[in-house]
Amino acid sequence: MIATKNISTHKTLSGLLAHQPAELVRHSQNVADLSSALAALLGCPSDEIDKIYIGSLLHDIGKQFLPASILEKREKFTDREFGLVQMHTWKGYTYLNNFIADPAILHTVLYHHERWNGTGYPYHLAQNQIPLSARICAIADVWDALISDRCYRRALNMTQALDLIWTGAGSLFDPKIAAGFVSLIAEGYKVGLVANKNEDELIVPNIWHDKDAELGSISLARSNKR
């Protein structure tokens, strides 16, 4: 069970995501699916996997506090605008900190843009300074971004995206986790968990979740079926 700070605050996963843009919800669900599958592959205990799932599901919740002019901007960000975008990690952390006490969940949100070589944000943490949950979420987050259409580029195919993840192993990403991720995608592809719609096009796992589970009842928050 996740420690909650204010049990009178009735927060559910679906409630937290209810008013988010559809694309953000889709992305968050995919990142949570992949992060939890990767955590399982790495041998994390089930309670940690559940926390990584929830942290990943909520990793970009702080974007709701960014101005629409930035969220909807199609052109390249100015330095000032990029500074504001980076604040979504801190804003998400401080928001969730009002009713979630579990560090594994909060740290996934706060540190998911940190990078193995210290070039990430907000604190330029490096290697094992970055909590494991955030190192896992970082790879799943980048992967889903790469295979998704963006206003400034088309989605990459699976081969291109995996190549970029692998290129970043040891620089941007924890090399052991990146290796696990590559094997996860390869295995998922083989068993049909990751479907291949049109040769090069990837569909991420379609895994069911009970998003109405209360945050204080984590056992309901992660239930997968294939």
- The smaller minimum CB distance to Fe ion, of residues 28 and 213, is found at 28
**Please, which residues have CB within 8 angstroms of residue 82's CB and are 6 or more apart in sequence?**
none
Task: Count residues near Fe ion (CB under 5 A).
Answer: 1
Binding mask 71-100 for Fe ion (x = CB under 5 A): ------------------------------
Binding range to Fe ion, per CB under 5 A, among 44-52, 54-62, 202-210, 216-224: 54-62
Separation between Cα atoms, residue 18 and residue 201, nearest integer Å: 28
Q: Which residue is nearest to Fe ion (CB)?
A: 60
Q: Nearest approach, Cβ of 21 to Fe ion (angstroms)? A: 14
Binding range to Fe ion, per CB under 5 A, among 24-32, 56-64, 102-110, 121-129: 56-64
60 binds Fe ion, rule: CB under 5 A: yes
- The smaller minimum CB distance to Fe ion, of residues 111 and 181, is found at 111
- The smaller minimum CB distance to Fe ion, of residues 60 and 144, is found at 60
- The amino acid sitting at 5 is K
Q: Name the DSSP letter for residue 128.
A: G
**Please, which residues have CB within 8 angstroms of residue 178's CB and are 6 or more apart in sequence?**
139, 165, 166, 168, 169, 170
**Please, which residues have CB within 8 angstroms of residue 151's CB and are 6 or more apart in sequence?**
74
Instruction: State which of positions 98-127 bind Fe ion (CB under 5 A).
Output: none
Binding range to Fe ion, per CB under 5 A, among 20-28, 46-54, 55-63, 198-206: 55-63
- The smaller minimum CB distance to Fe ion, of residues 27 and 209, is found at 27
Binding range to Fe ion, per CB under 5 A, among 22-30, 59-67, 127-135, 153-161: 59-67
Long-range Cβ contact pairs of 202-210 (< 8 A, separation 24 or more) = 202/147, 202/157, 202/158, 202/161, 204/30, 204/33, 204/34, 204/144, 204/147, 205/30, 205/33, 205/34, 205/37, 207/33, 209/13, 209/29, 209/32
* Interface ranges with Fe ion (CB under 5 A): 60
